Chains A and B, each alone.
Chain A
Amino acid sequence: MNQQNILKGPAGLGLLVLSAIVLVVSFGYAFMNLSSQGHASFNTSSTLPWGQPIATYLYFALASSGLGMIASLPLVFGFKQFYPVVKRAIFLAFVILVSGMAVLAMELGHVFRMLWVIPFNMQIQSAMFWMGVFYVADLIFLLWKLQTLEKGEWDSKTSKQVGIGSFLAVLLASGNLALIFGMMSMRPFWFDGLLPIYFYLTAVASGLAALVFFIYLAHGFSRENMSSTLQRLLEGSLPKLFAAVLGGTLLFIAVRAITGLYTNNPEIYVVWRDYLFASSTYQASLWLGIVLPFVLMMMVNLRNNASTQVLVSILVFGGLFAERFFFVVGGQVVPLFKGTWEWNLIQYTPSATEWSLTIMGSALLFTLYVLGERMMNLSAEPPAIVASPAPGAGVTASA
Chain B
Amino acid sequence: MAKWGMVIDLDKCTGCQACTTACAMENNTLPGESWQDVLYYHEGTYPSAQMKWLPRPCMQCENPSCVHVCPTRATYKDMDAGGIVFVDWDKCIGCKYCMIACPYGVRFYADEKPLLEPDLREIFPGADGQMWSPPYQNPDQDWKRGIGVQPPGVVSKCTFCYHKVSKAPAGAVDLDEDVPEMKEYVPACVRTCPPKARFFGDLDNPTSQVNQLIGDKHGVRLKDHTGNKPQVYYLGAGAGVPAFEPKPRS
Q: A185-B226, A341-B39 are in contact. List 7 more A-B contacts (CB 8 A).
A: A128-B95, A184-B101, A334-B244, A337-B56, A337-B105, A339-B39, A339-B53
Q: Is B19 located at the chain interface by the 8 A CB criterion?
A: no
Q: Return chain B residues, CB-CB under 8 Å to A185.
A: 226
Given A40-B112, A49-B99, A184-B100, CB of A118 within 8 Å of CB of B71 = yes
A171-209 vs B: 1/0 string, CB under 8 Å?
Answer: 000000000100011110000000000000000000000
Find out whether the CB atom of A45 lies under 8 angstroms from the CB atom of B102: no
Find out whether the CB atom of B96 lies under 8 angstroms from the CB atom of A337: no
Central interface residue in A111, A128, A266, by most chain B CB within 10 Å: A128
Interface size on A, as a range, is 35 or more
Find out whether the CB atom of A45 lies under 8 angstroms from the CB atom of B112: yes
Q: In the complex, how many angstroms separate the beta carbon of A349 from the nearest chain B beta carbon?
A: 12
Q: Is A335 located at the chain interface by the 8 A CB criterion?
A: yes
CA distance A186 to B96 in the complex (A): 15
**Would you list 16 pairs from A and B whose C-beta atoms are within 8 A, ordered by A residue?**
A39-B94, A39-B153, A42-B112, A43-B113, A45-B109, A49-B99, A108-B93, A114-B93, A117-B74, A121-B73, A128-B95, A186-B102, A270-B244, A336-B104, A337-B103, A337-B106
Identify whether the interface residues of B are mostly helix, strand, loop, or mixed: loop
Q: Is A267 located at the chain interface by the 8 A CB criterion?
A: yes
Partner of A332, one of B94, B100, B106, B223: B100
Given A108-B93, A123-B73, A341-B39, CB of A38 within 8 Å of CB of B65 = no
Partner of A40, one of B72, B114, B244: B114
Q: Return chain B residues, CB-CB under 8 Å to A129.
A: 71
Q: Return chain A residues, CB-CB under 8 Å to B188.
A: none
Find out whether the CB atom of A340 lies under 8 angstroms from the CB atom of B40: yes
Q: Is A344 located at the chain interface by the 8 A CB criterion?
A: yes
Partner of A39, one of B65, B106, B112: B112
Q: Is B111 located at the chain interface by the 8 A CB criterion?
A: yes
Q: Return chain B residues, CB-CB under 8 Å to A157.
A: none
Given A42-B112, A49-B109, A335-B105, CB of A121 within 8 Å of CB of B41 = no
Find out whether the CB atom of B109 lies under 8 angstroms from the CB atom of A39: yes
Find out whether the CB atom of A340 lies under 8 angstroms from the CB atom of B42: yes
B70-85 vs A: 1/0 string, CB under 8 Å?
Answer: 1111100000000000
Find out whether the CB atom of B100 lies under 8 angstroms from the CB atom of A111: no
Instruction: Count residues of B near A (Cβ-Cβ below 8 Å).
Output: 53
Q: Return chain A residues, CB-CB under 8 Å to B65.
A: 186
Q: Is B152 located at the chain interface by the 8 A CB criterion?
A: yes
Central interface residue in B56, B109, B223, B241, by most chain A CB within 10 Å: B109
Q: In the complex, how many angstroms separate the beta carbon of A4 from the nearest chain B beta carbon?
A: 45
Find out whether the CB atom of A110 lies under 8 angstroms from the CB atom of B94: yes
Given A46-B99, A109-B154, A114-B72, CB of A337 within 8 Å of CB of B104 = yes
Which parts of B122-160 form the interface with A (CB within 8 Å)?
152-154
Central interface residue in B33, B65, B101, by most chain A CB within 10 Å: B101
Find out whether the CB atom of B39 lies under 8 angstroms from the CB atom of A50: no
Q: Return chain B residues, CB-CB under 8 Å to A125.
A: 68-69
Q: Is A113 located at the chain interface by the 8 A CB criterion?
A: yes
Q: Is B224 located at the chain interface by the 8 A CB criterion?
A: no
